[in-house]
Amino acid sequence: MTLPAQACTLIATLNQSGYEAYAVGGAVRDMLRGKAPDDIDITTNASPEQMVDVFSSFRTIPTGLRLGTLTVLIDRTPFEVTTYRTDGTYSDGRHPDTVCFTSSLTDDLARRDFTVNAMAYHPSEGLIDPFGGQDDLNAGRLRCVGEATERFSEDALRIARLLRFMSVLDFTAEEATLRAAKELCERLTLVAAERKRVELTKALVGTGFEAAAVALPEVMGQLVPALRPCIGFEQYNPHHKFDVYKHTIRAVQNASNDLIVRLAVLLHDVGKPSCFKRDENGIGHFYGHPAVSRAIAERQLKELRFDNATTQAVLPLIKAHDIDLPADRKILKRRLQLLGKDGFERLLAVKEADASACRPDSVPPDFGEVRRLYKEILDADECFSLRDLAVNGNDLIVLGYPKGPLIGTILDAMLDAVITETLPNTADALTAYAKECWPL
């Protein structure tokens, strides 16, 4: 395991002043897994004032100093250096009421959530691992440091972090840790929506998402309440072997690794339970569910404080997830008109994921011909939006049409005629068509 030079510099600087210092937490975990760490946190027995002193010739940002964290910049890369700390009692189920600085590295490691996140590393001393983190890492196992129910009761965010790390690391949870997370998952109501969103977002793009979400449906139901009615909801349909939740989770795992696609897949069927009907043969149907899913998803994404751009990219995919995508140029141009280029490509991904997760033997649909036609439409620069139309609103005003809603009506009709290939996309043809249908 080799620590990047900048982190070694920070540790050496503290050591030279007589303080202990170690890389800690996620960076150690990731390096042991052979993955370059995203960021490296340093822990030290130097007090906040002593750190400020030691790093007086460095650029520093004192934002977290009250809680013992000094951000030190080396070549513009920020490192968080934190005084060994223990956390006091937790009365809000989320934040410690007080933090205490300590002189013991082991005490600092003991406050951390999982054993794999509770290791420290020093370039010459090697690994410091008082809680068996390396064994758990090698076994692909997440285990709370100490008693799981106690740790999850202190800070409910750790329950969401468990699901996230199970997904991202593709790890399982040790039995007592899993049991405690299920038992205490309702405490996630104490966690701010933004924090839930962050953990959900990370979990969604993990390689172990399906296994994590199947192991912890209660936790998923807390993070995404819209999914709760889907859990265990049987479909009574020969095309569907799985309940709505299991189908959804499997489809997410099969989806391309793009957050917008995965969010759309996660929420594409949330309207199914409320649209469920069984016909005279006992077969289940869900007529109209895409629009209902869309409406529920809109509320859910808002509740989780997703940004508007993400939400507006996700919702049309949910609404459109069941529409046909035949290998037909005109229909594909209609779909492009509806969704735009990015949306169209994502819809292909959503549909592939959806169809691949209906039964254990599902094979994804073959969109080869659709993709070929799509590429042809793009290569030929064909028109499928008002933006591509050879005539715009101003042109119509210059021709003498009055400003107002009529302009929009004419443009829509022109676009329609071009997409259905009844008119070529040229200014002459389009103006002639306008004059004929809407004489001045």
Q: Which of 323, 252, 247, 237 is nearest to 288 (CA)?
A: 323
**Is the Cβ of residue 109 or residue 320 nearer to ligand ATP in the bound state?**
109
Of 141, 143, 158, 294, the one binding ligand ATP (CB under 6 A) is: 158
Binding status of residue 64 toward Mg ion by CB under 5 A? no
Q: Other CB atoms closer than 10 Å to residue 280's CB: what's the count?
A: 5
**Is the Cβ of residue 118 or residue 188 nearer to ligand ATP in the bound state?**
118
* Contact (CB, 8 A) for 65 and 71: no
Q: What is the DSSP letter of 103?
A: S
Partner interacting with residue 240 (select from Mg ion, ligand ATP, none; CB below 5-8 Å by kind)? none
In the complex, the smallest distance separating the C-beta of residue 117 from ligand ATP, rounded to whole angstroms, is 3
In the complex, the smallest distance separating the C-beta of residue 26 from Mg ion, rounded to whole angstroms, is 4
Give the β-pairing of 126-128 and 141-142: unpaired
**305 three-class SS:** coil
- Scanning 10-18, 155-163, 275-283, 390-398 for contacts with ligand ATP by CB under 6 A, the matching segment is 155-163
Partner interacting with residue 157 (select from Mg ion, ligand ATP, none; CB below 5-8 Å by kind)? ligand ATP
Q: What is the DSSP letter of 423?
A: S
- Scanning 127-135, 150-158, 188-196, 288-296 for contacts with ligand ATP by CB under 6 A, the matching segment is 150-158
Q: What is the dihedral of CA 406, 407, 410, 411, to 10 degrees?
A: -150
Pattern 396-415, binding to ligand ATP, x per CB under 6 A?
Answer: --------------------
Binding status of residue 69 toward ligand ATP by CB under 6 A? no
Of 2, 36, 38, 387, the one binding ligand ATP (CB under 6 A) is: 38
**Is the Cβ of residue 185 or residue 353 nearer to ligand ATP in the bound state?**
185
* Contact (CB, 8 A) for 267 and 318: yes
Of 15, 17, 19, 26, the one binding ligand ATP (CB under 6 A) is: 26
Q: Which of 139, 122, 129 is nearest to 40 (CA)?
A: 122
**Is the Cβ of residue 26 or residue 284 nearer to Mg ion in the bound state?**
26
Minimal CB distance residue for Mg ion: 26
Rounded to whole angstroms, the Cα distance separating 382 from 335 reads: 13
Q: Give 405's Cβ-side CA count (13 Å radius).
A: 0
Look at the block and give the residue holding tokens 């170690």: 22
In the complex, the smallest distance separating the C-beta of residue 184 from ligand ATP, rounded to whole angstroms, is 14
Helix (H) or strand (E) holding 200: helix 193-204
Partner interacting with residue 223 (select from ligand ATP, Mg ion, none; CB below 5-8 Å by kind)? none
Distances (CA, A) of 249 to 216, 264, 317, 375: 11, 12, 17, 31
- How many residues at the interface with ligand ATP, by CB under 6 A? 11
Q: What is the dihedral of CA 432, 438, 439, 440, to 10 degrees?
A: -100
Binding status of residue 269 toward ligand ATP by CB under 6 A? no
Residues 6+ apart with CB under 8 A from 221: 185, 227, 228, 231
- Provide the H-helix boundaries in 268-390: 272-275, 289-303, 308-319, 329-355, 368-379
Question: Which residues in the 7-26 window bind Mg ion by CB under 5 A?
Answer: 26
In the complex, the smallest distance separating the C-beta of residue 24 from ligand ATP, rounded to whole angstroms, is 7
- Whether the CA torsion 57, 63, 67, 72 is positive or negative: it is negative
Of 43, 60, 115, 117, the one binding ligand ATP (CB under 6 A) is: 117
Binding status of residue 143 toward ligand ATP by CB under 6 A? no
Q: Which of 213, 319, 324 is nearest to 271 (CA)?
A: 319
Binding status of residue 248 toward ligand ATP by CB under 6 A? no
Of 20, 112, 152, 352, the one binding ligand ATP (CB under 6 A) is: 112
In the complex, the smallest distance separating the C-beta of residue 26 from ligand ATP, rounded to whole angstroms, is 2
**Is the Cβ of residue 159 or residue 349 nearer to ligand ATP in the bound state?**
159
Question: Which residues in the 6-25 window bind ligand ATP by CB under 6 A?
Answer: 25
Positions that interact with Mg ion (CB under 5 A)? 26
Give the residues lining the site for ligand ATP (CB under 6 A): 25-26, 38, 41, 112-113, 117-118, 155, 157-158
